[in-house]
Amino acid sequence: MYAIVDIETTGGIAGRHRITEIAVVLHNGTEVTGTYQTLVNPEQDIPPFITQLTGITAAMVADAPTFEEIAPEFYELLKDKVFVAHNAAFDYSFIRKMLEEEGFPFHAKKLCTVKLSRKILPGKQRYSLGNLCRELGIAIRDRHRAMGDAEATATLFQMLLDNDLQGWIPELLQQHKGHQPLPPHLDKERIAELPRKPGVYYFYDRKGQLLYVGKARSIRNRVRNHFNFADHDGFENKLRDAIHEVRYEETGNELIALLLELDTIKRKKPPFNKAMKYWSRNYCIFCFTGQDGKLRLAIERYRTALQPIKVFPNYLMAREYLKELVDNYRICPQLSHLQSGQSTCFLSMEEGGCLRCTENADVTSYNDRVLEAIHDEEHFGSSYLIQGKGRHEDECSLVLVENGHYLGFGFHSLPVDTSDLEKIRSCITWRPDLPDVQYLIMRHLEKHPESRLVLSASAGVRE
C-alpha cells in the first residue's frame, strides 16, 4: 500500500520551519483507495513569499488544527505504507521530524517520483512536477496546494507503475528492506540505557571530538531514529560510521533542551550540525526618542543594546508585524519608518486616522500611545522567570530574563519563591543573550503564557 504525500510549509528546513498543509492519496498499486487533507496551524509566521506561492495565509490556518492535534491520526494513516512523494526527501524529512517531536518514531520505505521518473521516463527536459505534468499531459487542479500536487503525483506514480518494465520500483523498495545498522563502534547496550526523557544528546568520534548535538523529547527514541534509514545525501551514514560515543543531559522539558542545544552548537560548532551553526535571527523592532521628543519605532539588525521589543528571522516579517502594530494603535507610519516623502501618512486617509497627523496629538499623548503598544508586548523590557518541568518531581527548570535580557537557565527545588531573586540567580548558569534565544523564548511564551512568572522591582531586579 502506498501513501502519496504532499505538504506545504513555512520554509525549507525541517526542525526550523513547519507544515501548513498536508494531503495524502492512498494507492494500492492499481488504483486510488482514499484521500486525506487538512490545513495545519504552523504556530509560526508564514512569510509573505510563501503566501504568494501557495495562497495559504495566516487567517486560513488560524483555526486549523496544530500538528500535535493531528499527529496520532496522521501516524496511523502512514504507518506500514510506502511513502511516495515528488522530491521525497523534503516531505519525508518534515513529516519524520514533526512526528518524532510528538512521540511517534517514524521510519518508512520511501519512493521519490523524481528519481523514478529519471529512470523509467528518461529524456525529459526537466523533472520538476510542473514540467513533467506539462510534458505528460497530467492536469494539476491546484498547483502549489497540497491536494492538487498530491493528486498530480498520484497520476504520475500510476504512469510510472505502468511503465516500469525494468523493475526499478521493486529494486528500490528492496534496497530499503530492514533498518540501517546502529553505529558499528557504539555499544548497543549503551543506546538501550538511554532515557526516554527530554534532553540533549551528544555524538563523539574516536578522538573524543564532538560531532553532533541534538535535542529530543525522548533521548533514546531520537538517537535510534538517526540510523533507521540513510539520508538521501548519505549524511546519516557518514555520521553513523564516525560515532564512537554518545552522551546526554536530561533537561526536563523541551524549552531547556532547545536552549542548551542552541548554546552548544553556537559555541562548539559541531561539523555535522548544519541548520543552526550559523543561523541568526537578524532583525528586531526597537524604540527610540526623536529630536522632537516623540517616540519612534524602527527595524534594525539585532543588537542587545537596542533592547528589542520583538525579534524576527527576516526583515519582511519584522515589517509586517510593525505595520500591524501601527494599524492597531493608530501610530504614525512616518514616525515608524514605514513611510517617507509624503506630508501626511497613509493612515490619515483611513477611518480613525493617525494620532499624529489626524488628531495633531501633543508629545505626551502620542508617546503614551506608543508606550501602550509597546507594553502590550509583554516580553519587552520586563523581568520574569519561565518555569517548566524539572528533571525529577522535586525540582523545576527556570529561565531568567531581566529587563528584557536573557541571562540563562538552571534548575531549582520546588517550591520557588520569586521574591528571593538572589537564590534564583545562584541556580542559573549564565548563557549569552542571542537573537536566536530571544526568538525561542518568544515562541515558547506564545504557546505557554502560563509559564511566565513576573518579577517585581522589590525582588531585587537590577536596573
- Point out the residues that are catalytic: 144
Q: What is the DSSP letter of 448?
A: -
Separation of alpha carbons 214 and 260, rounded Å: 9
Query: Strand (E) positions, 159-313?
Result: 199-204, 210-216, 245-250, 283-289, 295-301, 310-312
Cell, residue 14:
525541517
- The one-letter amino acid at 159: M
Beta strand pairing status for 2-9 and 82-85? parallel
Closest CA to 302 of 287, 280, 282: 282
Separation of alpha carbons 137 and 12, rounded Å: 29
Cell, residue 54:
501557495
Separation of alpha carbons 148 and 151, rounded Å: 5
Classified as helix, coil or strand, 404 is coil
Angle at 293 between CA 288 and CA 297, to 5 degrees: 30
Q: Tell me the Ramachandran region of residue 250: left when phi exceeds 0, alpha when psi lies from -120 to 50, beta otherwise.
A: beta
Query: CA-CA distances (angstroms) from residue 40 to 43, 96, 97, 449?
Result: 9, 16, 15, 21
